[in-house]
Amino acid sequence: MTGPAPTPSASRVLICDDQELIRMGLRMVVDSQPDLTVVGEAADGDAAITGVAALKPDLVLMDVRMPGLDGLAATEHLCARPHAPKILVVTTFDLDEYAYAALRAGANGFLVKDAPAEEILVTVRAVLRGEVMVAPSLTRRLVERFVLQPPGSVPAQRGRLAALTEREREVLALIARGLANREIADRLFVGETTVKTHLGRVLTKLGLRDRIHAVIFAYESGLIRAGDD
C-alpha cells in the first residue's frame, strides 16, 4: 500500500513502539496522506530520543510500555528540551496511571492503538495544530484518581492563584470540573471566544503548557477537590 507522495511542507512523524506490526500499521496510515510523512521509527525510548535529535520530527507517536527506557520517561525527557516535538501517546485507556503520568510528563494527547485510520489521522492533525486531544471528562477522571498533594504543596500552589482575577479563577474551576468551552460560555453568559481569552491568560499567568495542565494545577492548588460538582 503506497499513498500519495508527501508535499515538501508535510509534517514529519516519528513512530516509537516496540511492536513492529504496530509501527508498520501506523506508518501505512500516516504515509497514506500527502500532508504527513514518517521520517523514522524507534523500538524504545532511547531510540526515540536519538531519532528526535537526528530527524527533527514535528510529532512523535509514543508507545508507553517498552523495554529499556519506556515511553513515559522518553516523553518527559523530550518535553524538557527546547523546541520539543508534539508527543501523542499510544495507549489503551485501561491503564489510567500511565495516562496520567504521560500528562504530567508533557504529552499532548492520546491515541488508542486499535483506533480506526480516520480517527488516527484526525487526532494526529489536531495535535499538530496545537490542540490537546484528551476529553475533558477523561482529564477530570484521571486527575481525581491520581493527583497527589504532598504536605505543603497546596499552600504553595494556592499562592499562585493570587495572580488570577476572580473571573479567571471561575473559568479555571469550570475547566477542572470537565466543562468544554461552549458549556463554560453558556454557564457564564459570555461568548466562547471570551472563555478562550480567559483560558489563555490563565495559562500565561500560571506558566502552564495547556488545558490539561490547567486542570492538574486546579486540583493541586486546592481550587477544586475530587468529588466537587
Q: What pLDDT is stored for residue 190 in this prediction?
A: 95
Strand spans (E) along the chain: 11-16, 36-42, 59-63, 86-91, 109-112
State pLDDT tens for residues 66-93.
Answer: 989 999 999 999 998 888 999 998 876 5
Residue 140 clears pLDDT 80, i.e. is over it:
no
Burial string for 110-138 (b: 16+ CB within 10 Å, else e) reads bbebeeeeeebbebbbbbbeeebbbebeb
From the list 39, 49, 110, 111, the residue with the least C-alpha distance to 84 is 49
Cα 158 to Cα 55, 121, 208, 227: the distances in Å are: 41, 39, 15, 19
Q: What pLDDT is stored for residue 151 in this prediction?
A: 45
Cα 123 to Cα 115, 118, 201: the distances in Å are: 10, 9, 26
Cα 154 to Cα 27, 119, 215, 225: the distances in Å are: 44, 38, 14, 11
Residue 74 and residue 172: Cα distance in Å, rounded?
29
State pLDDT tens for residues 42-56.
Answer: 999 999 999 999 999
Is 34 within 8 Å of 11 (Cβ atoms)?
A: no
Share of the chain above pLDDT 70, in %: 79
Over residues 129-138, the mean pLDDT reads 68
